[in-house]
């Protein structure tokens, strides 16, 4: 449930940010970054984070959660390399604006996951 709630929160946040950014800077990257891709990546990211929590708790209890959080934060930061090396189609206007849209979105899943974590206590039986 933690993964679903955080994925929903991250997806909504990304879509709102996409709308605000596109309107403010008069750019449209829907051909590259559409709503389905945003929601899918947020869902995948939050599911992987929840799975890592479950595996850490099964292995060592709550002791590894701070280390899992560090790994999640590090991987979120490392994922921006993909955005910086992404080749946009030639017909996209203002390609220099794309990193400003996509890079913050890479942090939304982790941010939402950590934000709603106190509301969920993982119980492994």
Residue 112 within any structural domain of the chain: yes
pTM score, two decimals? 0.88
Proportion of the chain above pLDDT 70, given as a percent? 97
Domain that holds residue 20: 2-117
89, pLDDT greater than 80:
no
Residue 49 within any structural domain of the chain: yes
The reported pLDDT for the residue numbered 122 is 66
Domains: count for the chain: 1
124, pLDDT greater than 60:
no
The answer to whether 44 and 4 have CB atoms below 8 angstroms apart is no
The answer to whether 42 and 10 have CB atoms below 8 angstroms apart is yes
Residue 39 within any structural domain of the chain: yes
Residue 125 within any structural domain of the chain: no
48-56: long-range pairs with CB below 8 Å, 24+? 49/3, 49/6, 49/109, 49/110, 49/113, 50/2, 50/3, 50/6, 50/113, 51/3, 53/2, 53/122, 54/122, 54/124
CA dihedral 43, 48, 52, 54 (to 10 degrees): 50
| Residue 85 pLDDT grade (very low, low, confident, very high; cuts 50, 70, 90) | confident
The reported pLDDT for the residue numbered 88 is 79
Residue 13 within any structural domain of the chain: yes
């Amino acid at each position: 449930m933690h993964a679903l709630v955080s994925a929903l929160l991250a997806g909504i946040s990304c879509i709102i940010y996409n709308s605000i950014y596109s309107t403010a800077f008069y750019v449209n990257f829907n051909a590259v970054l559409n709503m389905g891709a945003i929601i899918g990546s947020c869902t995948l990211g939050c599911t992987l984070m929840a799975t890592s929590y479950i595996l850490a708790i099964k292995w060592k209890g709550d002791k590894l959660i701070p280390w899992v959080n560090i790994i999640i934060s590090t991987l979120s930061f490392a994922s921006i390399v993909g955005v910086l090396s992404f080749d946009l189609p030639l017909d996209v206007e203002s390609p220099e604006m794309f990193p400003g849209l996509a890079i913050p979105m890479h942090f939304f899943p982790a941010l939402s996951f950590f934000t709603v974590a106190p509301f969920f206590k993982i119980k492994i039986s």
